[in-house]
């Protein structure tokens, strides 16, 4: 197992003991240098957002490793044709805890709506502890929330936003048959952009949504709008988002996922300081909440990620076909 964090270790050790399987783990990321550490094993389990490249699959093939079990949902960073041509079977964990990510998106919406960033800035930077006009927030129940992607996480987020009394509109390339009266599908993304006070993104990264949120879209959005991205960084053009926030095209952003996340992000023992100028700039803005791709991170999710991914790996090694096979 690569990229194992300290909080995963007890779950990993318990799974190994319960199933009588030897599991070896490392905190390092899987890459061309570290792949050799997997020599002699039947399969590997990984969790990372940096690319799984063709070269990596060539190396896995050379080492005779035929099974790669992801501990996460997203498969956008995988060269799937290269995996296929190297005969490497891949599984993911599609539903380890949609509520974990949905709750985080709602937390970001509340943080931004209630101007908590402005309160923290006054206290942390000016060491002042008093009311301010800039702290006046808005109720979620008075807002229209636009959800893009009504899959597992999007629907969990809708349930929570509805619980707070929001009016929810949604867009999905492949809409659900029934909305259970919880939300209304709009016909076009333009309607989401124009009508929403809060937009929460819950679709996978694909070729057709690369930089979907760009300057033209920020111009269409309300200047009081908040954008929450817990999906994938590539969906939002980072430069255009920075401009939109600085120029007042939109009012705030929750950024759990950002373009070009580094390998370091997945190394929980890293002591490296952030050098990315965008991350540093966003971190100092009171109308932004930036977090290190951590919406998933609850104890409930971690247990499921370990148990389900190691279960998938065991099934593949034993010649079975797990349900979570990625095509």
Exactly one of 155, 202, 232, 249 is catalytic; name it: 232
CB of 222 to ligand NAD, least distance (A): 20
DSSP single-letter state for residue 213: B
Return the one option of ligand COI, ligand NAD, none that residue 47 interacts with (CB less than 5 to 8 A, by type).
Answer: ligand COI
**For ligand COI, which residue of 45, 49, 238, 304 counts as binding (CB under 6 A)?**
49
Backbone angles phi, psi at 8, to 5 degrees: -85, -25
**For ligand COI, which residue of 51, 74, 137, 286 counts as binding (CB under 6 A)?**
74
Our measurement of the distance from residue 300's CA atom to the centroid of its chain's CA atoms, rounded to an integer in Å, reads 16
Distance of alpha carbon 302 from alpha carbon 72, whole angstroms: 10
Name the residue among 266, 264, 242 with its Cα closest to residue 255: 242
Name the residue among 115, 106, 107, 105 with its Cα closest to residue 137: 115
Residue ranges in 184-203 that form contacts with ligand NAD under rule CB under 6 A? 202-203
Q: Would you state the structure tokens that stand for residue 173, as one six-digit string?
A: 């390339």
Distance of alpha carbon 26 from alpha carbon 87, whole angstroms: 24
Tell me whether residue 16 or residue 74 sits nearer to ligand NAD (CB atom). 74
**For ligand NAD, which residue of 71, 89, 115, 152 counts as binding (CB under 6 A)?**
152
The sign of the CA dihedral 278, 284, 288, 289 is: positive
Exactly one of 152, 155, 202, 293 is catalytic; name it: 293
Tell me whether residue 65 or residue 145 sits nearer to ligand NAD (CB atom). 145
Q: Is residue 296 near ligand COI by the rule CB under 6 A? A: yes
Contacting residues toward ligand COI, per CB under 6 A: 47, 49, 72-74, 293, 296
Catalytic positions, please? 232, 261, 293
């Amino acid at each position: 197992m690569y990229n194992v964090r300290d909080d995963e270790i007890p779950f990993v050790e318990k799974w190994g003991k319960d199933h009588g399987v030897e599991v070896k783990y490392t905190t390092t990321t899987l890459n061309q240098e570290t792949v050799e550490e997997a020599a002699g094993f039947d399969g590997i389990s990984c969790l990372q957002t940096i690319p799984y490249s063709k070269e990596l699959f060539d190396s896995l093939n050379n080492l005779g490793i035929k099974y790669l079990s992801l501990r996460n949902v997203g498969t956008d960073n995988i060269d799937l044709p290269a995996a296929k041509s190297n005969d490497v079977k891949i599984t993911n964990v599609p539903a380890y805890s949609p509520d974990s990510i949905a709750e985080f998106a709602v937390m970001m919406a509340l943080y931004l709506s209630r101007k908590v960033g402005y309160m923290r800035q006054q206290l942390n930077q000016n060491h002042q502890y008093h009311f301010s006009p800039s702290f006046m927030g808005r109720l979620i129940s008075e807002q229209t929330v636009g959800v893009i992607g009504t899959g597992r996480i999007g629907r969990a987020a809708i349930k929570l936003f509805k619980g707070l009394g929001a009016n929810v509109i949604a867009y999905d390339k492949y809409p659900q048959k029934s909305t259970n009266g919880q939300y209304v599908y709009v016909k076009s993304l333009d309607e989401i952009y124009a009508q929403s006070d809060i937009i929460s993104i819950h679709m996978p990264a694909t070729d057709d949504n690369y930089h979907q949120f760009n300057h033209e879209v920020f111009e269409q959005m309300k200047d009081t709008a908040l954008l929450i991205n817990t999906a994938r960084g590539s969906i939002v053009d980072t430069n255009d988002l920075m401009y939109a926030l600085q120029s007042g095209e939109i009012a705030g952003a929750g950024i759990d996922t950002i373009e070009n996340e580094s390998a370091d992000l997945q190394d929980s023992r890293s002591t490296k300081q952030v050098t990315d100028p965008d991350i540093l700039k966003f971190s100092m803005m009171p109308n932004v909440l930036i977090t290190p791709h951590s919406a998933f991170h609850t104890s409930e999710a971690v247990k499921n990620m370990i148990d389900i991914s190691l279960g998938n790996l065991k099934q593949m090694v034993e010649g079975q076909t797990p349900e979570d096979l990625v095509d």
